[in-house]
Amino acid sequence: MKKGFLLLSVLAISLFVTSCSKAPSGPTGITGGYYTSEDCQNKPDAIYDPSKAADKIVVVKSEHKMYLYKNGKVIETFPVSLGANDYQGNKVKRGDKKTPVGTYKILNKRCHPVKYRAMTISYPNAEDRRRAADLGVDPGSLITIHGQPHWNADGHGDSYTLAHDWTDGCVALTNSDLDKLWGRVSVGTTIELKN
């Protein structure tokens, strides 16, 4: 029993640390705090509604925008933050703090103790792995769409966080926008990340 608990604890900590875990401090240096599973439950906008579902997500990095599409038409637009080093180009290897470019799928949707909610995307794809192998580097993994650090749980610092690229390569939305996205996107939805 103790070994099983220890293994689960190590796995949980490793996922916590490697999934875009660094958060910006607030404008006044505030950091810390964790979300509980209850924090991301029962939000009306986050209840999945197939009639409002998007069939594709497109992130245009140069615009810092996420577009939701249904039947070829934009149905919603959200501002986003990207990787802290995204100005240096596209993701190539683990730890470069750049957001990837390519076509992926949403692999899962889960509550996140540091970033409110997270949707893991299927990075790296075959092209990403091939490029990394050619360079002799690890392409990295666990790129997500996620929300805000706990100090900004109520959204009072949204203008501050959206004015910066601060993730480890993930795509960050405000928590209220992430709730809307959550209610319109299912596992398996295509996401295209473009320059």
Show the beta-strand stretches assigned E in the chain: 56-60, 65-70, 73-79, 102-112, 116-121, 144-146, 171-172, 190-194
pLDDT of residue 22: 59
Low-confidence ranges of the chain (pLDDT < 50): 4-18
Structure token digits, residue 125: 């794809």
* Total count of domains within the chain: 1
pLDDT of residue 119: 98
pLDDT of residue 32: 74
The number of beta carbons lying within 10 Å of the beta carbon of residue 183 is 17
Q: Please state, in angstroms and rounded to a whole number, the distance separating the CA atoms of residues 120 and 105.
A: 9
Helix (H, G, I), strand (E, B) or coil at 105: strand
Here the CATH number for the domain that contains residue 167 is 2.40.440.10
pLDDT of residue 11: 38
Task: Write down the pTM of the prediction.
Answer: 0.87
pLDDT one-digit tens code per residue, 108-154: 999 999 999 999 999 999 999 999 999 999 999 999 999 999 999 99
DSSP letter at 67 equals E
Q: Please state, in angstroms and rounded to a whole number, the distance separating the CA atoms of residues 166 and 66.
A: 16
Domain of 30? 2-194
Q: Please state, in angstroms and rounded to a whole number, the distance separating the CA atoms of residues 74 and 65.
A: 12
pLDDT of residue 98: 98
